[in-house]
Structure 1
Amino acid sequence: MDALIYTAMSGAERALHAQQVRANNLANADTAGFRADLELSMAETVQGYGYDARHMGRLRADTVSNRQGTLKQSDRDLDVAVIGDGYLAVQWGDGEAYTRAGALNVEADGTLTSNGRAVMGEGGPIVLPQYSQISIGEDGTISVLAPGQTLMQPLERLKLVRPDPAQVSKNEAGLIVVRGQQALPADPTVRVRSGFLEGSNVSAVEEMVATMALNRDFEMQMKLYKAADSMADTGNRLIRE
């Protein structure tokens, strides 16, 4: 009966971890640019001699939903929403990571940031000069109007990338990274919409339904565990008698 116990207990553990994933998604239902985490389960054979008949359920929560979030108009010049499945590049450590959070800000030294992280241009972190007006084009080109001038001048272009959706995951800061690859090249086909922000792509209804299903899965696994324990106890009594 121990083979069934492996399956039941690992299945219950998977359900608990999956509930944590769903709870985190619900907590970020109103976070601009948030990408929902997906939880996938897989069977894994227990390693070791004599354990071929024993299997465990494993949770993989390193997949990200690629569904587009709802666009909300903000009419703020520094707000941008990425259209489609592209991402903004931001500085992360010695390299870069990617995000859909398009509420950009300008720091005191002129650095353009997203959630406190420097936004990358095609030539590195973007630093803006003094300006009286700013605009961001559909292709990510940033144009500014210098004090005393009458014409907008293109300054830099946002680094926009389009990774393979199947190869992206999140790092410890919740930023998007590509498995096994440090940085992506800029993709000139990615477009942004200025004056808009993308909301979270989390569906509260879907997450609640999934949570209820996971609760039922956990209860079923615990019943299987009790059944396995009862059968093992019965077998032990038969041996003793």
Structure 2
Amino acid sequence: MDALIYTIMSGAERALKAQQVHANNLANLETAGFRADLELATSSQVQGYGYDARHMSQLQADTLTLREGVVRETGRELDVAIGGKGLLAVQYGEGEAYTRAGGLDIDAEGALSVNGRPVMGDGGPIVLPEYTRLSIAQDGTVSVLTPGQTEMQVIDRLKLVSAEAGGLTKNVAGLLVPRNGGELPADETVRVRGGYLEGSNVSAVEEMVATMSLNRDFEIQMRLYKSADSMAETGNRLVRE
């Protein structure tokens, strides 16, 4: 009977933790560039002599989906929507991390950033000179019109990379990083749309349906727990008699 208890209790714990994953997705429904997290349950055998028939459910919540979110026009010159499976490189510690968030900002020193993190270009973090006009081309080239000039001047190019969802995970800051560590090479085929911004790729309907399904799973686990307790009590009574 204890073999069933392992499955029931680990399954109930998995349902509760999976609800947290979907709750976090829903909380970021309006977060620009947010990539929805996925949850996957796997079975694992309990280690130790005599435990061969005992299995537990384990939650894996380090995967995500890179499907595109809704793109809307903003008209803001510092907004870019990244196409396909492309990602924008930003500085993270001594290395890089990646994001789909395209709402760029510029500080008093002219440094480009996303949510406070420096945006990477061909030669490192991008810093712009004083300008009166700015444009970002489809290939990520950043050009500005400086005071007193009549022609746009190329300053740098956004570092754009591409990757498959299975090769990425999220770090503690919520940024995308390769599972094997290191940095991704620039991909010149990635294109961006200036003046547009991509929203979250979270589907509210899918998240709500998944949450309701998990609620039913948890209720079933609790019924099984009561049944297991009843069967154990019946077995103990038969032994006593």
Q: Normalising by the residue count of structure 1, what TM-score does the alignment of the two structures yield?
A: 0.99
Query: 1:61-76, aligned counterparts within 5 Å?
Result: 61-76=61-76
> Residue 149 of structure 1 aligns with which residue?
149
> Residue 48 of structure 1 aligns with which residue?
48
Q: 1:120 and 1:224 mapped to 2: Cα distance?
A: 53
> Residue 166 of structure 1 aligns with which residue?
166
**How far is the alpha carbon of 1:109 from its aligned partner?**
1.3
> Residue 38 of structure 2 aligns with which residue?
38
Q: 1:23 and 1:122 mapped to 2: Cα distance?
A: 38
State the AA in 1 paired with 2:77: D
| Secondary structure of the structure 1 residue equivalent to 2:97 | strand
| Secondary structure of the structure 1 residue equivalent to 2:235 | helix
| Secondary structure of the structure 2 residue equivalent to 1:109 | coil
> Residue 232 of structure 1 aligns with which residue?
232
**How far is the alpha carbon of 1:63 from its aligned partner?**
0.6
> Residue 206 of structure 1 aligns with which residue?
206
**How far is the alpha carbon of 1:163 from its aligned partner?**
1.4
| Secondary structure of the structure 1 residue equivalent to 2:98 | strand
Q: 1:229 and 1:91 mapped to 2: Cα distance?
A: 54
**How far is the alpha carbon of 1:105 from its aligned partner?**
0.6
Q: 1:42 and 1:172 mapped to 2: Cα distance?
A: 23
**How far is the alpha carbon of 1:226 from its aligned partner?**
1.1
Q: 2:50 and 2:121 mapped to 1: Cα distance?
A: 56
**How far is the alpha carbon of 1:66 from its aligned partner?**
1.3
Q: 2:21 and 2:171 mapped to 1: Cα distance?
A: 14
Q: 2:70 and 2:230 mapped to 1: Cα distance?
A: 51
Gaps of 5+ in 2: none
> Residue 25 of structure 2 aligns with which residue?
25
Deviations 1:31-68 (A, max 9, x none): 11010000011001111111111000011111111110
> Residue 217 of structure 2 aligns with which residue?
217
State the AA in 1 paired with 2:41: S
State the AA in 2 paired with 1:232: A
Q: Normalising by the residue count of structure 2, what TM-score does the alignment of the two structures yield?
A: 0.99
Q: 2:182 and 2:89 mapped to 1: Cα distance?
A: 12
| Secondary structure of the structure 1 residue equivalent to 2:226 | helix
Q: 1:41 and 1:122 mapped to 2: Cα distance?
A: 41
Residue 185, structure 1, aligned to residue 165, structure 2: no
**How far is the alpha carbon of 1:181 from its aligned partner?**
2.1
| Secondary structure of the structure 2 residue equivalent to 1:7 | helix
Deviations 1:141-182 (A, max 9, x none): 001111100000111000001012211111111100110121
Q: 1:147 and 1:49 mapped to 2: Cα distance?
A: 77
Q: 1:130 and 1:144 mapped to 2: Cα distance?
A: 9
**How far is the alpha carbon of 1:236 from its aligned partner?**
1.1
Gaps of 5+ in 1: none
| Secondary structure of the structure 2 residue equivalent to 1:11 | helix
Q: 2:164 and 2:206 mapped to 1: Cα distance?
A: 25
State the AA in 2 paired with 1:216: R
Moved over 3 A (4+): none
Q: 1:126 and 1:172 mapped to 2: Cα distance?
A: 24
